[in-house]
A and B are shown apart, each in its own frame.
Chain A
Amino acid sequence: MARLILNTENQQFDLNKQQTTAGSASNPRALLRNRSKKYMDLIAGLDTHNLTDTKGMALLMNAIQEEFGTAELGNWPLGIVAKCFLGHPYEVHTYDLSASQILHHYKVGEPLPDQFEKARTLAKHNAYALVEVYKDYVILIREDGSASTTSAAL
């Protein structure tokens, strides 16, 4: 039984090719690509610099826009949770992309808004610089910008 020869020569895929946007509806795995240094720096800066809320919001939205490009809004994170360096009793802070006040510090034991609570334990871990919160899962970003997730199906 003779087989057709697959014309693999014409189907060249470059594995090293970087996609320009982090996510698309067709391939959510792209959300696991490395985050840019600019994005990482900006998010780290938002906490240490005392930005006013409006300016912070604008900056954050810009950074997200740049990082996630034209990806559908559904693939944008709902917000970000990170370890708070204000010291005890503060534990984590959140950037809520849907709220008017973006930066909020939370004390130990103080409950986070519903969708953010699932990121709390991981945000406290030193291995992760920040945790992006999505509807069904979280994406953990390390200092070097590499991403991983709690969901096996991603």
Chain B
Amino acid sequence: MSDRLISSADISGIEYKLRQLDSNLDRVTNNISHVRTEVGGVLNEVGTLNQRQAQLAADLNQLAAAFSDFVKNDGKQKSLQLAETRQGNLKQDLEIKFGYYGEVRRMATGILQGVDTGIVSDGTLRATTEEVMLKAPGYWLAPALITVASWIRNDKATADKALNESLRRDDYKTTLFFMLVMRRLNRYEASLQWLNRYFMHQNPYNLDREFVIILEAVTTGVFPPAARQLMMKNAKSWLAQLTQSGDYINDQKAQWLQFFHAKAPVVSGKYPLLEQFCNNWTALETYLQTVSAHEPIQAHFKNVIGASTDLSKAIKVQLDEILSMLVTNFDDEELPLQQQVRLNELIIDMDGDKAAAQSVMDAEKHIFQEKVDFLQLLTNAAFNPAKAGASKVTQALAVSISQPWIVEAHDTFTANSRNSIPNLIVYNIDGFTAGTQDGSDEESLLGQHEGYWTNVLKAELAKAPYPTSNVILGGLIIALGAGLLIVNPIVGVLAAGVGIWLVLNTLNKHKKTIQQIKDSTANREQKSKEVLRGCIAETVDYRKECAREDAKAEVVRALLTSITPEDFSSVSKDTRNILTTN
């Protein structure tokens, strides 16, 4: 019954339905892929939208930046305009209040040039200078010019009166002016008098910036030779003043100490074994470094002292610059106005950037207000003459004046270096530690070394004890084999054989281990000994080098103590030629 049912079943309908289902599925798949394409399209569009948004944001940022730039520029533009307007006003103010000052200055330069060339008549000089006197009341340069004019035409009475007036108005500037003018005109006696007055103006605690140039001029012989004595006299009294109070000398000494330390050369790589096997190598290296500084120090001072007179007309040019600054630069009473003018000028230069202009202004102010004490000035000139605006001759003079505390600083440097010498050099070679003073006890060190390695060998051997247990076990097996001989000779012989093999093998292995330990220890000892010998050799060299370098300290000391300021009076011999020919 059931067979029939099966055979007669018609599944074509099912097949059809299945096919239909299949095609439906295909359609669904198609639809899905269609949807996917559509979604892809949508996604693409979203991407595009995102892109556009980013673009928009970027545009907006750009706009914001452009706007802030605009605001900034606008601010700058306004500051610029304001600065320009203000500057105009300020200049007008200046012109109204101090206009004649400018005229006097222009005239001063003119008169000086006229005097140089001698083509202006006395009458003109007299008339113009007297007019200036009337137009610029209170200005020191006006009576100074009258002094020059009346001096030229030999009118002593007027010259004296005008000079007194000029000094009353500004003693310092008048002094500097006449000192420079007299030097320019080769009136040595007069310039010396003025120089003396100039020195009296100076405060050794607070020297003016131009002092170093005057010092330079005196040192290099631009002024008459007597000026040098005058300067030395002043320098000595200043020194006495400065050294009596405060920490001026100690400050200079500390700077010299630093300078000496900075001369210490690099020494690594000279003693490779000590570097590697010495416990206190850092101390050794530091000592070698400081002690090696004496040679460069000596070279430095030799160079300074031995410097030939490398002068030219440069100093005269500088002196003339001071003179021209003195007559062209504004005076203190004009200063507030002039400072504002300068600030506005800087704002204009910086295209309206106020902050930048102010910082430049502050920096300039600092430069011009910089004042130093006499000792610091000497130290600056001794360390870096170029930066201090001095020549090598002035450097030599500065060194010679500073000599007492340079010697003291060098003595301290040497003493500190000698105090830091490590007494013992401590090796640490493959576990062997020993110290030596100078390597002269080589035999004893080698003996210690040998003793150390004997102990190491002992310790190593102790780590490989005699294999008693295996030997006993082997013996027992042999005994057992011997016992078995009676019961079963073959098994007995075999067992005894195993026992004998065990004993022999164990003993053999042990022997090999012992030999290995001995070999490797001997090998290490050999290497260690070589290193030790190398270290000792380097120690001897190290101590020799240190002693050699240390001895140079005394040479430097002798060199330093031999320097006296008086030595530098000879320097002027060459420079006097310049004086007489020019």
Contact surface of A with B, Cβ cutoff 8 Å: 1-3, 5-9, 11-15, 27, 29, 32, 118, 121-122, 125, 127, 140, 148-154
Known contacts A6-B202, A13-B237, A152-B254: A32-B419 contact under CB 8 Å: no
List chain B residues, Cβ under 8 A from A32. 408
CA distance A151 to B250 in the complex (A): 10
B237 and A12 within 8 A (CB): yes
B170 and A2 within 8 A (CB): yes
List chain A residues, Cβ under 8 A from B254. 152-153
* Apart from the given pairs A122-B419, A152-B250, A152-B412, 13 other A-B contacts in the complex at a CB distance below 8 Å: A2-B172, A3-B171, A6-B200, A13-B237, A13-B244, A15-B236, A121-B418, A121-B421, A149-B408, A150-B416, A152-B409, A153-B253, A153-B254
Known contacts A127-B554, A149-B412: A11-B241 contact under CB 8 Å: yes
What does the 1/0 interface line of B389-410 toward A look like (CB < 8 Å)? 0000000000000000000110
Q: Is B203 an interface residue (CB 8 A)?
A: yes
CB distance from B26 to the nearest CB of A (A): 100
CB distance from A42 to the nearest CB of B (A): 24
Instruction: Report the interface size for chain B: residues with CB under 8 A from the other chain.
Output: 39
Residue among A121, A125, A148, A151 with most chain B CB within 10 A = A148
- Pairs of residues from A and B, 4 with the lowest C-beta to C-beta distance, nearest first: A13-B240, A148-B411, A150-B415, A2-B171
A5 and B201 within 8 A (CB): yes
List chain B residues, Cβ under 8 A from A150. 412, 415-416, 419
A149 and B241 within 8 A (CB): no
Interface residues of B in 311-344 (CB under 8 A from A): 332
CA distance A122 to B420 in the complex (A): 9
Residue among A3, A14, A122, A149 with most chain B CB within 10 A = A3
CB distance from A70 to the nearest CB of B (A): 20
List chain B residues, Cβ under 8 A from A1. 170, 172, 332
List chain A residues, Cβ under 8 A from B415. 122, 140, 148-150
A121 and B423 within 8 A (CB): yes
Interface residues of B in 222-238 (CB under 8 A from A): 234, 236-238
Q: Is B199 an interface residue (CB 8 A)?
A: yes
Residue of A with least CB distance to B140: A2
Known contacts A15-B239, A149-B412: A6-B203 contact under CB 8 Å: yes
CB distance from B335 to the nearest CB of A (A): 10
List chain B residues, Cβ under 8 A from A149. 408, 411-412, 415
List chain B residues, Cβ under 8 A from A151. 412
Q: Is B159 an interface residue (CB 8 A)?
A: no
Q: Is B214 an interface residue (CB 8 A)?
A: no
List chain B residues, Cβ under 8 A from A15. 236, 239-240
CB distance from B297 to the nearest CB of A (A): 15
List chain A residues, Cβ under 8 A from B107. none
List chain A residues, Cβ under 8 A from B423. 121
B234 and A8 within 8 A (CB): yes
Of A3, A11, A13, A122, the residue contacting B172 (CB under 8 A) is A3
Q: Is B249 an interface residue (CB 8 A)?
A: yes
What does the 1/0 interface line of B420-448 toward A look like (CB < 8 Å)? 01010000000000000000000000000
Q: Is B257 an interface residue (CB 8 A)?
A: yes
List chain B residues, Cβ under 8 A from A148. 408, 411-412, 414-415
B554 and A13 within 8 A (CB): no
List chain B residues, Cβ under 8 A from A29. 243, 249
CA distance A3 to B371 in the complex (A): 15
CA distance A30 to B409 in the complex (A): 15
A11 and B419 within 8 A (CB): no
Interface residues of B in 118-174 (CB under 8 A from A): 169-172
Could you list 24 A-B pairs, sorted by A, with CB under 8 Å?
A: A2-B171, A5-B201, A6-B200, A6-B201, A6-B202, A8-B238, A13-B236, A13-B237, A13-B240, A15-B239, A15-B240, A29-B249, A121-B419, A122-B415, A125-B418, A127-B418, A140-B411, A140-B415, A148-B408, A150-B412, A150-B416, A150-B419, A152-B257, A153-B250
